[in-house]
Amino acid sequence: MTYSVPASRNTGSRRRPRTLSWIRRLAIVTLSLASAAAPGLVGGVTAAQAVAGPRADGDGTVTVRVVRAVDDSGKYTPVLEPGMSGVTVNLTDDAGATISGTTAADGTVTLSPAGSPLAGGKYRVQVMNPKPDLFFSAFADRAGLDNAPGNLSSTEEFVDLSGGKNVSYTTGFWNPGDYCQKNATLVTACIRNDVTPEPATSRTLVSFPYNARGVNNQTTDLATHADTGALYGIGYSKQKKWIFSGATAHRGSAYGPSGAGAIYRTDTKTNATSLFTTVPGAGGTPHDFATDMDLAFAPHVAKESLGDVEVSEDGKDLYVVNLADRKLYRYDATQPTASAPKASYAIPGPDTPCAAAGDWRPYGLGVQDGVVYVGGVCSAESSQQRADLRAVVRTFDPAAEAFGSVVMDQKLDYPRPVTYTVAPCKGDAWFPWSDTIPLKQG
């Protein structure tokens, strides 16, 4: 009994050039099909022939481990390549009968033809891509199953389980969004001083290569104080080569020309910076640099303007946190400007509420594998109790436009490194938010 190769092209594998064993396998199949070809047959095998093999009761099992691959070596490195849970794996016989399983938390699943509709002893194994728009099949070792399970195999393989033979192998997926070029370009913001005013030409956005060392070495100025004012959040579109930077509320440093809700776009081809959009309702408390070094503005920090800025891995969406209304805003990131958001979403607090609803302060963002992560803190401003301080991260599903589960809820009751060694307030712990300066630490 031979097995037929499907007429459709194998698109599930990104393996390296086929080994001789793979070529021999295809040659055997081709010769078998050629000898069986006759009028009325499809692919040289009839349905009757396809199921004429023995039942699968005497067959062994196939165990597949699906991992998150990190390089193109074709080697499986357990420490670096964790298992992927929830991945569907199909086992199919020559007649097209299929059984399926789903990988467990460690990335493994075992499929057994025994007691199933499968027959023939030889089967195709297909590991289904859980996110085809993001993931690619891992680079497989040249030896295929010969070096399994210590090396990576293809996401589509053919196995012989007849006579009780068991097969185990490892395969995986990788996300190009996790990678960049060697000596990548880094970008950061520079907060300028407006209490003792710095020049309007002072840089507020700067880039430099990862390997640069020293002071002001290999830097490129991307925006000035006059262009943007104070900045914090930075996102990057790989597709457009655009840098997005968002305004921030900072005592002693003014907003830029477009105010508290401004997001600016820098084209890395020209290093020109211009306004991308203005997030509505972000606030706009005026600064008073001449009085107490802008002290009256301090209570508005992290409560108005913008938090983090991120761009989706496919470059289609820009996400930003509006600190004033505590919403996540979503913009079309494929155009040079955006007149309005595509949508906005109220960011829910943690499952175990903060001491008061007003203590929930979202700020941070992250994007990984098509999931947006929104981070914030329970500020303990209402209770002034350190025990109420927490850091919380929750997921957001862009496709469903809905927030998901809390993936981290961490109490901030542990020590920090000392900030000031000779000051009364050494800053060696986390403390509740307060609009007044305490007379002593704690």
pLDDT tens, position by position, 184-243? 999 999 999 999 999 999 999 999 999 999 999 999 999 999 999 999 999 999 999 999
More confident residue, 139 or 51: 139
Q: Name which of 27, 58, 63, 167 is nearest 121 in CA terms.
A: 58
C-alpha to C-alpha distance for 442 and 440, rounded to whole angstroms: 6
The pLDDT score that the predictor gives to residue 262 is: 99
The pLDDT score that the predictor gives to residue 31 is: 32
Query: Using 50, 70 and 90 to split pLDDT, how confident is the model at 34?
Result: very low
Query: Using 50, 70 and 90 to split pLDDT, how confident is the model at 437?
Result: confident
Query: Which of these ranges, 21-25, 227-231, 367-371, has the smallest mean pLDDT?
Result: 21-25
Q: Determine which helix (DSSP H) or strand (DSSP E) holds 21, and give its type and residue range.
A: helix 20-36
pLDDT per position as a tens digit, 83-111: 999 999 999 999 999 999 999 999 999 99
The pLDDT score that the predictor gives to residue 47 is: 28
C-alpha to C-alpha distance for 263 and 258, rounded to whole angstroms: 8
Residue 271 · residue 265 · CB < 8 Å:
no
Residue 389 DSSP label: -
C-alpha to C-alpha distance for 158 and 386, rounded to whole angstroms: 59
Query: Which of these ranges, 47-51, 294-298, 402-406, has the smallest mean pLDDT?
Result: 47-51
- Side by side, the strands of the sheet bearing 122-127 are 98-102, 88-92, 122-127, 156-160
* Bridge pairing between strands 220-224 and 203-209: antiparallel
Query: What mean pLDDT is predicted for residues 397-417?
Result: 96
Query: Using 50, 70 and 90 to split pLDDT, how confident is the model at 56?
Result: low
The pLDDT score that the predictor gives to residue 342 is: 98
The phi and psi torsions of 354 (rounded to 5 degrees) equal -65, 170
Residue 233 · residue 307 · CB < 8 Å:
yes
Return all residues near 179 (Cβ < 8 A) that are at least 6 apart: none
C-alpha to C-alpha distance for 247 and 400, rounded to whole angstroms: 28
Query: Using 50, 70 and 90 to split pLDDT, how confident is the model at 442?
Result: low
The pLDDT score that the predictor gives to residue 354 is: 98
Residue 22 DSSP label: H
Query: Using 50, 70 and 90 to split pLDDT, how confident is the model at 21?
Result: very low
The phi and psi torsions of 298 (rounded to 5 degrees) equal -55, -40
C-alpha to C-alpha distance for 232 and 247, rounded to whole angstroms: 6
The mean predicted confidence, pLDDT, of the chain is: 88
The model's pTM is 0.82
Cis peptide, bond prior to residue 199, ω within 30 of zero: no
More confident residue, 60 or 419: 60
Residue 418 · residue 427 · CB < 8 Å:
yes
Question: What whole-number percentage of the chain has pLDDT above 90?
Answer: 78
pLDDT at 350 over 80: yes
C-alpha to C-alpha distance for 323 and 361, rounded to whole angstroms: 7
Residue 25 DSSP label: H
Residue 91 · residue 111 · CB < 8 Å:
yes
Domain ranges of the chain: 62-178, 185-346, 352-441
The pLDDT score that the predictor gives to residue 13 is: 38
C-alpha to C-alpha distance for 410 and 192, rounded to whole angstroms: 33
C-alpha to C-alpha distance for 317 and 403, rounded to whole angstroms: 16
C-alpha to C-alpha distance for 272 and 265, rounded to whole angstroms: 8
Query: Using 50, 70 and 90 to split pLDDT, how confident is the model at 142?
Result: confident
The pLDDT score that the predictor gives to residue 310 is: 99
The pLDDT score that the predictor gives to residue 55 is: 56
State both tokens at 197: 């005013």
Residue 268 · residue 284 · CB < 8 Å:
no
> Which CATH number, 3.40.50.920, 3.30.70.660, 2.60.40.10, 1.10.1200.10, labels domain 62-178?
2.60.40.10
Return all residues near 33 (Cβ < 8 A) that are at least 6 apart: 2, 4, 43, 44, 45
